[in-house]
Amino acid sequence: MGDPLLIAQAIGNLIDNALKYAQLNGNITVEASKDWSGNVVIAVADDGPGVPDDEKPNVTDRFYRGDASRGTPGIGLGLSLVASVARLHRGTIHLTDNHLGLRGSLILAPPDATVDFPKSNI
């Protein structure tokens, strides 16, 4: 259960972010799974420069642009939208090192969880 348009946009933002930062002719992986508690986990990983640990808490803030991203397209809204969609679905976004790159995981509440989803205006 969830808003399919918002979830699709969040996944699209994770993929767009990976495309921006992956190495030239690099690798991007997209995985979907369930964790031990039944959460749906959609993970997107790239082989780009990654995000320093001290910046990870900030990259989901609206308009935040880390030092490494200043020369790339965008205004700093992609990951903040992913975080907002995750919160709407009683979930979270989890950013980890991909040991060359970044792995962003959108973690959503189990489909049978009782969550009231407003209609999307997208």
- pLDDT at site 24: 92
- pLDDT at site 65: 59
Q: Angle between the 4-21 and 78-88 helix axes, to the nearest 10 degrees?
A: 150
Least confident of 29-33, 65-69, 71-75, 117-121: 117-121
Give pLDDT tens digits for 49-92. 888 888 777 776 665 556 555 556 554 567 888 999 999 988 99
For residues 115-119, average pLDDT: 48
Domains and CATH numbers, the chain: 4-108 (3.30.565.10)
